[in-house]
Homo-oligomer: A and B are copies of this chain.
Amino acid sequence: MSILIKNCLVGNSRKDIYVEGKTISEISSQISVEADQKIDGKRLAALPSFANAHTHSAMTLFRGYADDMQLMPWLEQKIWPNEARLTEEMVYQGSRLACLEMIKSGTTFFNDMYWHFKGTFKAVKEMGIRSSVNGVFIDLFDPKKAEEQKKESKALFDEFHNSHERIQFSLGPHAIYTVSEESLLWIKEFSEKNDLQVHIHVSETEQEVKDCVKKNGLRPVEYLDKIGFLSERVVAAHCVWLNEKEAKIMAKHDAVIAHNPIANMKLAVGGVFPYSLYKKHGVRMALGTDGTASNNNLSMFDTMKTAALLQKFHQNDPTVLPASECFDLATRSGYACFGLDAGITEGKVADFMLVNTSDPVLSPSHNMVSDMVYAAHAGCVDTVICNGSVLMKNRQVSNEAEIVEEASAAAHELLSS
Q: Is A33 an interface residue (CB 8 A)?
A: no
Q: Is the CB of B295 within 8 A of A374?
A: yes
Q: Is the CB of B268 within 8 A of A315?
A: yes
Q: Is A408 an interface residue (CB 8 A)?
A: yes
Q: Is A282 an interface residue (CB 8 A)?
A: no
From B318, B367, B375, B378, contact of A267 by CB (8 A): B318
From B101, B104, B305, B317, contact of A302 by CB (8 A): B305
Q: Is the CB of B318 within 8 A of A363?
A: no
Q: How many copies, total?
A: 2
Binary CB contact string for chain A from 88 to 128 against chain B (1 if under 8 A, 0 otherwise): 00000000010011001100000000000000000000000
Q: Is A281 an interface residue (CB 8 A)?
A: no
Q: Is the CB of A323 within 8 A of B364?
A: no
From B61, B295, B318, contact of A68 by CB (8 A): B318
Binary CB contact string for chain A from 278 to 305 against chain B (1 if under 8 A, 0 otherwise): 0000000000000010011101011001
Select the stretch in A151-159, A226-234, A347-355, A396-404 that faces chain B.
A396-404
- In the complex the two chains form, what is the Cα distance from A204 to B377 in whole Å? 27
Q: Is A252 an interface residue (CB 8 A)?
A: no
Which of A301, A366, A371 has the most C-beta atoms of chain B within 10 angstroms of its own C-beta? A366
- A375 with B292, Cβ < 8 A, contacts A63-B366, A319-B70 known: yes
- A64 with B312, Cβ < 8 A, contacts A364-B411, A370-B296, A415-B366 known: no
Binary CB contact string for chain A from 322 to 344 against chain B (1 if under 8 A, 0 otherwise): 11000000000000000000000
- A323 with B67, Cβ < 8 A, contacts A379-B379, A404-B360 known: yes
- Taking CB atoms, residues of chain B closer than 8 Å to A378 are 361, 377, 379
- Taking CB atoms, residues of chain B closer than 8 Å to A317 are 70, 268
Select the stretch in A48-56, A189-197, A258-266 that faces chain B.
A258-266
- A309 with B262, Cβ < 8 A, contacts A63-B363, A296-B371, A364-B60 known: yes
From B70, B374, B379, contact of A296 by CB (8 A): B374
Q: Mostly helix, strand, loop or mixed at chain A's interface?
A: helix
Which of A64, A310, A315 has the most C-beta atoms of chain B within 10 angstroms of its own C-beta? A64
Cβ distance A416 to chain B, nearest Cβ, rounded Å: 10
Number of interface residues of A (CB under 8 A): 74
- In the complex the two chains form, what is the Cα distance from A302 to B374 in whole Å? 10
Q: Is the CB of B364 within 8 A of A61?
A: yes
Q: Is A185 an interface residue (CB 8 A)?
A: no
- In the complex the two chains form, what is the Cα distance from A264 to B61 in whole Å? 34
Using CB atoms, name the residue of chain B closest to A309: B265
- In the complex the two chains form, what is the Cα distance from A299 to B377 in whole Å? 9
Binary CB contact string for chain A from 386 to 417 against chain B (1 if under 8 A, 0 otherwise): 00000000000000110110011011100100
Cβ distance A396 to chain B, nearest Cβ, rounded Å: 12
Cβ < 8 Å to B, chain A residues 355-383: 358-361, 363-368, 370-371, 374-380
Cβ distance A94 to chain B, nearest Cβ, rounded Å: 9
- Taking CB atoms, residues of chain B closer than 8 Å to A368 are 64
Q: Is A35 an interface residue (CB 8 A)?
A: no
- Taking CB atoms, residues of chain B closer than 8 Å to A361 are 101, 104-105, 297, 299, 378
From B100, B292, B364, B408, contact of A407 by CB (8 A): B364
- In the complex the two chains form, what is the Cα distance from A407 to B362 in whole Å? 12
Q: Is A213 an interface residue (CB 8 A)?
A: no
A residues contacting B by CB (< 8 A) are: 60-65, 67-71, 74, 97, 100-101, 104-105, 262, 264-268, 270, 292, 295-297, 299, 301-302, 305-306, 308-310, 312-313, 315-319, 322-323, 358-361, 363-368, 370-371, 374-380, 400-401, 403-404, 407-408, 410-412, 415
* Interchain residue pairs with CB less than 8 A apart (23): A60-B363, A64-B374, A64-B375, A67-B323, A68-B312, A68-B318, A68-B319, A70-B317, A71-B318, A97-B360, A97-B363, A101-B361, A265-B313, A266-B312, A267-B312, A296-B375, A301-B377, A306-B309, A358-B404, A360-B403, A363-B404, A364-B407, A364-B411
